[in-house]
Amino acid sequence: MAYTIAFFGTKPYDESSFNDKNKEFGFEIRYYKGHLNKNNVLLTQGVDAVCIFVNDVADAEVIRIMAENGVKLLALRCAGFNNVDLNAAATAGITVVRVPAYSPYAVAEYTVALMLSLNRKIPRASWRTKDGNFSLHGLMGFDMHGKTAGIIGTGKIAKILIHILKGFGMNVLAYDLYPDYNFAREEQIVYTSLDELYHSSDIISLHCPLTEETKYLINDYSISKMKDGVMIINTGRGQLIHTNALIEGLKNKKIGSAGLDVYEEESEYFYEDQSDRIIDDDVLARLLSFNNVIVTSHQAFFTREAMENIAMTTLQNIKDFINHKPLLNEVKR
């Protein structure tokens, strides 16, 4: 009998990628469009494993019910795991695995795309010319060459980003709890304190994991230390930024622009077509009203190569679990 996996929060592109790669594995996959939560967890009855994405909820109650239904493995098809109660999973005897890196190039390149789009006002310029307005007023940007980028967190994505930014001729300041000094020598970048990074950076980009220590890392106090007109980019996790503090910084011109591929309350909106309804999240609506803010729907990872890697790594994680092999991508409390 085939090993059965229930996929939650799936889209057509998920089914396409996983069906293609599953030809090599032969699992029985059941796809569900709804996000995993306490109201639909009953769908995990009769399956061996559950696969979820960033906006699914695997809290203590959901995990308890999954365990009662006989689920032994929770496979995340993403890198982040802050939506999983790891203590509850350990107690319930459910193993958790993830995809730690699917395409660091995808996210790094998208981060640069946000920087360039904000700096050179490309979305505004495009809207104008479509309406027959070819004026340059209000579209002035700045040379990135010679400017300073502050990179918070220097994992795989950030290292690729730094390499790209060095190609622009930018100076790079970095902060990480575990600095890679060999990398710093190779790329000629400087590890520094957060205060110095805030004080000296023209562009700040966030690439650290979401933990209790990094939650709301960008807040009123940290923004007050930054350069006037600073650009802030977040392709990491929404809760790295206190959104109301960001809005206040935009209003008082302390923050010159912001590129956000993530939002702290994104689960209600992102990955869905909401065009036929009014956005009743006042904070998100306010963000969308700024002409110097770009908000996108958590799509930095979304390339063909990344989707192929996600499918392959997820299915290999499951196969390794079945065959009692070492789980290289296991997440433990």
Of 298, 308, 324, 330, the active-site residue reads: 298
Rounded to an integer, what distance in angstroms lies between the CA atom of residue 166 and that of residue 148? 10
Which tokens hold the place of 209? 């994991």
Its sign, for the CA torsion 280, 266, 65, 209, is negative
Rounded to an integer, what distance in angstroms lies between the CA atom of residue 99 and that of residue 112? 23
Report residue 204 CA to chain centroid gap: 16
At 31, give phi and psi (nearest 5°): -100, 135
Active site residue 305: no
User: Could you tell me if 201 and 226 are in contact, meaning their C-beta atoms sit under 8 angstroms apart?
Assistant: yes
User: Could you tell me if 153 and 147 are in contact, meaning their C-beta atoms sit under 8 angstroms apart?
Assistant: no
Edge-to-edge order in the sheet of strand 190-191 = 190-191, 171-175, 148-152, 203-206, 230-234, 255-260, 293-295
Three-class SS state of 203: strand
Rounded to an integer, what distance in angstroms lies between the CA atom of residue 161 and that of residue 65? 41
First to last CA, the chain: 32
Of 207, 237, 242, 264, the active-site residue reads: 237
At 46, give phi and psi (nearest 5°): 80, 10
DSSP label at 216? T
User: Could you tell me if 200 and 173 are in contact, meaning their C-beta atoms sit under 8 angstroms apart?
Assistant: yes
Active site residue 266: yes
Of 64, 207, 264, 266, the active-site residue reads: 266
Active site residue 264: no
Identify the CA nearest to 124 among candidates 275, 250, 251, 292: 292
The residues that are catalytic are: 237, 266, 298
